[in-house]
Amino acid sequence: MTKHGVVLEDVAAARHFSFPPPRTTTPTAGGGDSFRKLAAQVDLGAAVVGSWLDSMKASSPRHRLMAPLPGAADAEHDDWMERHPSALDRFDALAAAAKGKQVAVFLDYDGTLSPIVEDPDRAVMTDEMREAVRGVAARFPTAIVSGRCRDKVFSFVRLAELYYAGSHGMDIRGPTADPNHHGKAADSSSSVLCQPASEFLPVMEEVYAALVSRVEPSIPGAKVENNKFCLSVHFRCVEEAAWAPLFELVRAVLRDYPGLRLTQGRKVLEVRPMIRWDKGKALEFLLTALGFADADKDDVFPIYVGDDRTDEDAFRVLRARGQGAGILVSRFPKETSASFTLRDPAEVKDFLRKLVVVNADADTNNS
């Protein structure tokens, strides 16, 4: 594992190149047939409501605990762990696979670097976790890839030497400080790498206002969060009996905005622009920006750590490339394209610390 000072110079030179993603069609009400088919997801009647409710329930940890037979649950968990072993237990094998390669680290935020909390504004990472991330960033290119607004994630993490991909990668910024000289600022405007959905900003503000005025007063516990290029409707504090009315209200608002689509994360409904862009595309973009697009897969070892279904897009990219390691943060068996698991943010912190130690040992042995 090597340090990445030279790589950062390459990225600095690449900060202004464009990378427009393909769109399904133009974001207008008069789009083509394929666009209408995608937009129709918010108007399919009772069948869609039932399907979404099932999915919303599946995202709730308490439902995962309601296995009919403890023995069956234990067997399922053991089988799942055999197929997705702990990244801590298999750390030596991971380190061996990464030896001699350029490591790049990509981290989700909520549920990965901080615990999931009822109030999303209180999802604060610990000082110990911040130091673990700082140590990794001093040795490898490191990015936070989150559904949150980029500025909000930065306010939680407060490390200027990282890459930040907010709004599920629709708002990417490079480091604004040298990782080896903390606090040395750069021009923040020159560090914006990619905003593929910038034309949607006015409509996102309009829909945000509509959701706040219609959802929050009607559904106790619901909270609408403006993540700039996407909107989050949190239902963690909503009684389960109100989930169907909540979904109906959200899709009623979206009927007037065929350029937007509705997706789901962990205890959250998310409104996004209807473009082909997700955390997987963000991962590919960042690897390109780091100068790894044309590198032999045996020369680069990306590590992506995340806990949400939206992180599956990134896990699938790594699996398709046959490269690096996807690590799912979860205590419960679930379908995933990740190869390894960690149980919670505490184990993520331990994993990041081990990355720092093994890199320091490698530097000592090579000196």
Judge contact between 231 and 225, C-beta under 8 A.
Answer: yes
Q: Which positions ≥6 away from 181 have C-beta within 8 Å? A: none
Q: Which band of pLDDT confidence, cut at 50, 70 and 90, is reported for residue 64? A: very low
Is pLDDT at 43 greater than 50 in this prediction?
Answer: no
When pLDDT is cut at 50, 70 and 90, the band that residue 152 belongs to is very high
- Strands 142-145 and 171-173, bridge-based pairing: unpaired
Task: Return all residues near 73 (Cβ < 8 A) that are at least 6 apart.
Answer: 67
pLDDT at 201: 96
- Residues sharing a CB contact under 8 Å with residue 151, sequence separation 6 or more, in sequence order: 166, 228
Residue 331 in contact with residue 343, Cβ under 8 Å? yes
CATH numbers and ranges of domains, the chain = 83-179+277-365 (3.40.50.1000), 199-273 (3.30.70.1020)
Query: Average pLDDT in the 296-309 region?
Result: 90
Give the active site residues: 108
Confidence bin at 285 (pLDDT 50/70/90): very high
Residues 330-343, mean pLDDT to the nearest whole number: 94
State pTM to two decimals: 0.79
pLDDT of residue 48: 56
Q: Give CA angle at 276 (264, 163), nearest 5°.
A: 80
For residue 154, what are the contacts with CB-CB under 8 A and spacing of at least 6? 164
* pLDDT band with cut points at 50, 70 and 90 for residue 75: confident
More confident residue, 71 or 302: 302
52-to-42, 49, 233, 263 alpha-carbon distances in Å: 11, 5, 14, 10
| Predicted local confidence at residue 25, as pLDDT | 38
| Stretch among 7-21, 44-58, 208-222 having the lowest mean pLDDT | 7-21
Residues 309-329: pLDDT tens digits? 899 999 999 999 999 999 999
What is the average pLDDT across 7-21?
31
